[in-house]
Chain A
Amino acid sequence: MTKKILIVDDEPHLRTLIQQTLEELEDDGVELITATNGEEALAVIRDEEPDLVFLDVMMPKKNGFDVCNEVKNELGLSHIHIVLLTAKGQEFDRQRGQEVGADLYMTKPFDPDALVAKARSVLGLPA
């Protein structure tokens, strides 16, 4: 079964950055999917059940905390690994991320190597 990574960010250039960072995983058969806001992200998650989601926090319609909370605690999809990826770095936000069940909280500007390493680790791909 194809492994899928969902990239959720309302900023097109950041989607491109994350996509480009992760595109080397396409050689391992990983499919990269994108969504531009929280509601779209939830729809894609329901339909596609990606293995890993890189989720922006500050987004229109539905923010990343709410999306994460819904996926982890309401949709019964807690097995989906969620990495909150945000420009916010306050401890309060980090705690909020933990409360809604995020598996990891990474800050922007993210470390591209760490992002790929995390994806490989979650998807069980060789480093």
Chain B
Amino acid sequence: MAGLTLRALLNPRSGTYAVVKTFCDQAGPGLSIVDSSGRLLLGAKLSGEPHSHTSVPINCGDATLGFVAGPQAHAAAVAQLVTHLAARETEQRALAAETLHLYREINLIEQLSEQLAAILNIPAVSESALAQAQRLIAATHGSVLLVEKSTGALQIEGSFAPPAGSGNRLCGALMPDSLFAASVLERGVAEIVNNCAGDPRACGNECSLRALILAPLRAGQRTAGLIALASTEPDASYSAADLKLLNTIALQAAAAVENAALCAEMVESARERAAYAAELQAASSVQQLLLQGASRPTPGFQVESVYLPASEVGGDFFYVQPAPDGSLLAIVGDVSGKGLTAAMRVAMILGVLRRETSYDPAEILSSLNNALVAQGHLGFATACCIRIALSGEFAFANAGHIAPYVLKRELQTIPALPLGLVAGQSFKLVQGRLNNGERLVLLSDGVPEARSQSGELFGFERTAALCSQAADGIARTAQQFGQEDDITVVTLTVSE
């Protein structure tokens, strides 16, 4: 605030001027008012210095604003009036200055809120908070330190300091290992330290700070870090008003830091989801290729297969392979788990089946069981494996899978554990015969476990009733009923 001048006080447009002039006019002729430089502000310049005239100073605090010249008694009275008016004007100006300071604070805090609401990266939040804090609170140094979530250690996210070469030995107000910072973080309460060098927590270059003010960045119950301002000016001292201001800024900044962190996590999560979706898509393509090669045309048999994964990649598998003696080997199974993990298990199982030299269903299931047990972490799988001759004679083994259907009937199986649970498990064969025109159906539990929107299960009765249909009809019916899991249907018919 600029100091009051007599010229400003006695501006001819002002009310004060009118009052003083009226008073002078009433007091009589010969009065004049000049400012401290001798400039005439009111009345007429006195010619000569009659001994009856005197010059009475107009004081305001320690300053002499000017003089009233004229007859002693009148000049003293006018000087007293103007001195009183000057004191009142000074008070008004002090009040106005205080109000303007508050106006400035309100507007800066509003600006800060607007800025922070629009910023979604943490360094920019820190810089913005420091810039606004520096505008409101006198400081030579400033820092924003944030707690690294994984380690709990403080990191400098933003700082300001006088340029290098100006005798400055600090890059900001505080370093991450500051005991002042640790203290504020621990207590979660803002603090003023107006004599840093005398505080036992001061260490290293912090002793060159005169005054320090710190506020925690609190978001909910969590303290995300702190903001600190400091001054090396010899007479620097922070007040409770400064503390409230810094706390207000800290609260705004903390919310913005949390928003920025949340935003970064969401971006990272979206990136991971996109990467996972791409991997899933790649796995789906690989799985489709593997399953396309899982069924070969076999003379003397009609084979139909439908595979409808519930998501990008499925946990079902099937494999159809002619044997050297003209018979046909077919296996349908389902691995535990979902997504990429299940897809990897399916790929591994198909690999084992391709390398398998035996055409005996029980031996094949034993091989698969051993392979899965050997892998240990690959979980388990159910499977039904069948070998059928051109004559229609067949033998199958079942490892916890749905039994095959013939003529709308479920074939009796010998109970056995799924694959991959117990090492060295053996499987027993069930013999049978498929007559000309009869269709043997192998399927996965995605068919009987299809579920309608009302929650009704498709069930085994409907499954059995469907089993006179072609593979596509069975699979699509179950899918339309309400697919919940992968659906695989393989049908085998001996050609006439």
Contacts and interface: CB of A to CB of B under 8 A. Distances in A.
Interface of A: 13, 16-17, 20-21, 23-24, 33-34, 109-114
Given A20-B1, A33-B13, A111 B96 contact: no
A29 B103 CA distance: 26
A20 B93 contact: yes
A112 B1 CA distance: 13
A16 B103 contact: no
Given A23-B2, A33-B13, A34-B13, A111 B100 contact: no
A112 B102 CA distance: 10
Nearest to B15: A12
B92 A16 contact: yes
A110 B106 CA distance: 9
B104 interface: yes
A110 B107 CA distance: 8
Contacts of A34: 13
Given A33-B13, A34-B13, A13 B96 contact: yes
Contacts of A111: 103-104, 107
Contacts of B13: 33-34
Contacts of B96: 13, 16-17, 20
Contacts, number: 38
B281 interface: no
Interface string B1-28: 1100000100001000000000000000
A21 B103 CA distance: 11
Interface string B89-116: 0001101110110111011000000000
21 contacts: A16-B92, A16-B93, A16-B96, A17-B99, A20-B93, A20-B96, A20-B97, A20-B100, A21-B100, A24-B2, A109-B102, A109-B103, A109-B106, A110-B103, A110-B107, A111-B107, A112-B100, A112-B103, A112-B107, A113-B107, A114-B107
Given A17-B99, A24-B2, A33-B13, A109 B92 contact: no
Which among B96, B97, B106 has the highest number of chain A CB atoms within 10 Å?
B96
Nearest to B111: A111
Interface string B76-99: 000000000000000011011101
A33 B97 CA distance: 19
A122 B100 CA distance: 22
Contacts of B100: 17, 20-21, 112
B348 to A, nearest CB: 67
A16 B93 CA distance: 8
A13 B8 CA distance: 17
B50 to A, nearest CB: 37
A14 B106 CA distance: 16
Contacts of A110: 103, 107
A109 B103 CA distance: 6
Which among A24, A34, A109 has the highest number of chain B CB atoms within 10 Å?
A109
